[in-house]
Amino acid sequence: MNLEYGPKYQDFTKEVQSFCKKYEGISFTDGSNNPLGSSGGSGGPQMSRSEWQKILIENGFFARSVPKEYGGYGGEEDILKSRIIATEFSKSKIPGAMGGQGIDMLVPTLLEMGTEEQKQAYIEPTLYGEMIWCQGYSEPNAGSDLASLQTKGELVGDEWIINGQKIWTSTAQYSQMCFCLVRTEPDAPKHAGISYLLIPMDTPGIEIRPLVDMTLKAGFNEVFFTDVKIPASNIVGKRGEGWAVANATLGHERGSLAPPDATMNRVNMLMQLMKEETLDGKPLIEHPIYRDRLMQIQGKVLAQQSHALRLLSAKLNPGTDVKIGKMIQKLTGTELRHELEGLAIDVMGEVGTLYEDSPHLRNDGTWQFIYMYFLGLIIGGGTSQIQKNIIAERGLGMPKEPKVERA
C-alpha cells in the first residue's frame, strides 16, 4: 500500500493549485443547461461557459488526452493527473468543464471507432461546447431490453431513411446532433441488426416533445422520426455493429454517475446543516438517532471512497483483478446518494419538503431535488435490478434466466 503519488505529481498538483487560485470565484455570464452543473461562484472573473471551456483545454485540464488535431490538448493519458485536476477543482470550488453526452460518450466512441472524416468534423466542436449531442437509445418498448429497439433505418440510394420513436432523450431540445441506435438489418438476430447513426437534429421529419419528470425541472424528451433522411456515411462502425459500438462507452457512463467524492461533499454539507439547524432548541446533530443515521451513511460513503482508490490503483497497475469491483459502481453509487439526500429531508422534517422557490428553503432546495433526481439515475442507464443481473451473471457466473420462446 502506497498512497503517495510521487514528486512528479506534487509539481503538477502545485500547477493546478495556482491555476485554481487565479480563477477562484469564477462565474458565468450564461446559465447552465445541466441542473446539477455549477453556475460558478462569485467575486472572481466573469466569462461565458465556452470561454472557460477554451481556457481549460488550452491548459490541459480538459480533453487532456484528445489529440491536438481534433481540438484536444494532445497530452498523454494520465489517470493520476486527471484525478489531481478533479480533486483540486473540487477543493477550490472551481467549476469543471461542460459535460454532456457528446463529450462523455460520443467523443470517446469516435476516437475509438470513428472514421477520420467523422473525427475531424465532430470532435472539436463537441469539446468546445459548440455542438451539443443527445443520445437516441431507449424506446417506449425498449428500456431494460434495449437491444429489442425497433426504430427503423433503411438505406435507399445514398441515404438512410429513419422512422420510429425514441424516449428519455435528455437535452434533445438543445442538441444539434443525435447519436442514435437504429435497426437497419431487420432479418438479423436482435443484437446484430443495429447500427450506430449520427443524425443532425435540424433534419426535416424530427419532432421533439418535452417529457416532464417528477422533479418538474430536468428535461427529458420524446423524439419522433418520420422519413428522416441523412447521408449514408453518417454511420459509426459497419452496418449491424451498432450494439458493439454503443457498448464501448456504456460502461463509462455507468461508472461516472455517482462519484463517491461528490457524495462525501454532500455528507459534509449535511453535517454542517445539522449543526446549524435546531429541533426543540437543540442542534439536529445532538439528536442521537439522526446522528447515528448520519454516521451510518458516512461509513458507507467512506467505504466507496476507499473502493474508488482501489479501482484507481487497478487502472495504474494492470493485472489487478477488480472485475466485480467495477460492476458494482452504478448500483451502489446511485443508491447511496439517494439514501443520503433522503436522510437530509428526514432530519429537516417538514422543512425538508419545501421546494422550488418557497420561503425557508435550505441549501436552495437541493436536497429534495437531488433525492428525486437520483431516483431517475437509479432507474436510468440500466436499473438497479439490471445491474444486479449483470453482477450475478457476469461477475459471479450465475445462470441466466431461461429465454422465453417468442409467441
Annotate 30-80 with DSSP letters as a single string.
Answer: S--SSTTS--B-SSS-EE-HHHHHHHHHHTTSSSTTS-GGGTS------HH
Distance CA 70, CA 246 (A): 21
Residue 262 C-beta: closest distance to another protein, Å: 16
Distance CA 51, CA 42 (A): 17
The residue within the footprint of another protein, chosen from 208, 250, 328, 351 (CB under 8 A), is: 328
Report residue 204: phi and psi, to 5°: -60, 145
Distance CA 113, CA 16 (A): 32
Closer CB to another protein, 90 or 389, in the complex: 389
Helix (H), strand (E) at residue 312 = helix 288-316
Q: How many CB atoms lie within 10 A of CB 238?
A: 12
96 CB-contact burial (10 Å; exposed 0-12 / middle 13-18 / buried 19+) = middle
Nearest to 93, CA basis, from 24, 18, 42: 24
Residue 338 C-beta: closest distance to another protein, Å: 15
Closer CB to another protein, 240 or 325, in the complex: 325
Closer CB to another protein, 156 or 289, in the complex: 289
- Tell me: does residue 156 bind another protein (CB under 8 A): no
The residue within the footprint of another protein, chosen from 157, 203, 317, 355 (CB under 8 A), is: 317
| Positions 62 through 91 that interact with another protein (CB under 8 A) | 80
Closer CB to another protein, 121 or 312, in the complex: 312
- Which of these ranges, 19-27, 100-108, 143-151, 298-306, lies near another protein under the rule CB under 8 A? 298-306
Residue 324 C-beta: closest distance to another protein, Å: 6
Residue 1 C-beta: closest distance to another protein, Å: 5
- Tell me: does residue 11 bind another protein (CB under 8 A): no
Distance CA 138, CA 140 (A): 7
- Which of these ranges, 2-10, 59-67, 131-139, 244-252, lies near another protein under the rule CB under 8 A? 2-10
Q: Going by C-beta distance under 8 Å and a sequence separation of 6 or more, which residues neighbour residue 121?
A: none
The residue within the footprint of another protein, chosen from 310, 346, 353, 356 (CB under 8 A), is: 310
The residue within the footprint of another protein, chosen from 226, 278, 320, 358 (CB under 8 A), is: 320
Residue 401 C-beta: closest distance to another protein, Å: 6
- Tell me: does residue 228 bind another protein (CB under 8 A): no
The residue within the footprint of another protein, chosen from 169, 170, 175, 304 (CB under 8 A), is: 304
403 CB-contact burial (10 Å; exposed 0-12 / middle 13-18 / buried 19+) = exposed
Closer CB to another protein, 43 or 299, in the complex: 299
| Positions 262 through 291 that interact with another protein (CB under 8 A) | 271, 288, 291
Residue 77 is among the residues annotated as catalytic for this protein: no
The residue whose grid cell reads 445462470 is: 399
Among the listed residues 24, 51, 253, 335, the single catalytic one is 253
Distance CA 3, CA 24 (A): 28
Q: Which residues pair with 28 in a beta bridge?
A: 47
Residue 374 C-beta: closest distance to another protein, Å: 17
- Tell me: does residue 144 bind another protein (CB under 8 A): no
Distance CA 118, CA 132 (A): 15
Strand-pair category, 27-28 with 46-47 = parallel
Chain residues in the site for another protein (CB under 8 A): 1-6, 80, 271, 288, 291-292, 295-296, 298-300, 302-304, 306-307, 309-310, 312-314, 316-317, 320, 324-325, 328, 331-332, 385, 387-389, 391-393, 395-402
Residue numbers annotated as active site: 253
